[in-house]
Structure 1
Amino acid sequence: SITRQTVADVADFLISPMVPGPLYFAGLLGLPDVDEPEADGDGSATEDSERLGRLWELRLCIEHVKDVLEAYAANGERDPLSTAEEMLGIVEDTLRRVAVLGVAPDGPAEEAADAAEVVAASTRGGRSGDGKAGQGVLLKAIGSMTGRRGALTASLCSSRLYISGLLEAVLGELTDWRASPSDAELATWRRWDLIFDRLARHAGGDPRRDEDPGDPCCEGVACSGEPESAAG
């Protein structure tokens, strides 16, 4: 109905004014309204509801990452609670949760000891990795990286996945690859990649930490912020 659609639009706007929200994606996927009875009793309505819930949580995680990174970019290390190490820990925890949201609860995650290699192998040769089929394994590996602080950041940077690549992968998984970020949204995520890169270098005590990390698109940019040598 018009009323239901208006409520959905307002809710999406409150979550994120600039980009489509979870209820938009629910319509794109053709998910049933939550108040409609389950027709065939095969559990599909419950599965759809769970997916919509993960889309809502993804948007909240994205907003959290945005708040932390943009606050750090604007204000730097203001006090003991906003040091690079503390801020990086918050971002890492949120990104790990983002990865878990993109994985259907149908099996155990990869062992943490092998997670870094899985991330590297899944994205070797390019940011998109081995395509849609390998994204589930990749996201499970990222979600399992609960070891030392900085391990997830190192893997995201060395694999050139960064925040933008992770968010693209999770959004694709949750919408069966029917949705993708807009150009403006992707540009924003890639800007966060640069802040994330600088934050990682600050937390790691890199002496080059204040250098310009390079092109905002992050294509061909190593974790240190220096462009990689062109192949061939």
Structure 2
Amino acid sequence: YCFVIACGCEKGFFSFKGRQCVKLFEAKATYQMAEMVCKNYGNATIAWFEDIEEVEFYRLITYNVLNIKNNVWVNGKFDENYKHCACLTESEESVQFFNCDEKHSFLCKQQSKQENRLSLEDVEKLIDRKFNKLQEAIEMQRINLTTEIEKLKTLHLGISTALAVSENADNSSNNLPLTSSVMQRFFYISEKIDKCAGKYHFASLMGFI
């Protein structure tokens, strides 16, 4: 085990494996009051434990290093109404439950600052991941932009084609009266020719020519 300052804990805290920081308050308080004190002290909580090794570490700090002679609140409540809370004891039974309104010393626990530190290698990996994500985002933007440009080109081509067709239709409409006039004159002349041809045939029959 190591002392707090060397393991990323604040002054007065002990570190467990460099992951957790614990501080013992010798002053006695109810479980609820102990929770409030821990929360106001660096946003800590009443100490909990993950395995028997951590329990024994707390007991070592409490009864051997700091030489406390009474029970110590740790995280844990028992029964449906949560009227009984967990205490470290110096007896063979490491953890026992007592009425939460009793007053005992208590242990507060907070995350070790060292645990949250990143190594240079971790930082490099994080930067690489961020850079790769940025590259992917830029590539996606490029693809989307290219797609939009192609859509605009297609739209422009469609509009140009429509305008050309419309212009040709207008030109055809402008030429229509001239063509009609020519056709009318053609039919008029044809009719006159037919009439003249008919008179010539009638005259020849009557012996006038």
Q: More strand by proportion, 1 or 2?
A: 2
Q: Compute the TM-score of the two structures, normalised by the length of structure 2.
A: 0.22
Q: More helix by proportion, 1 or 2?
A: 1
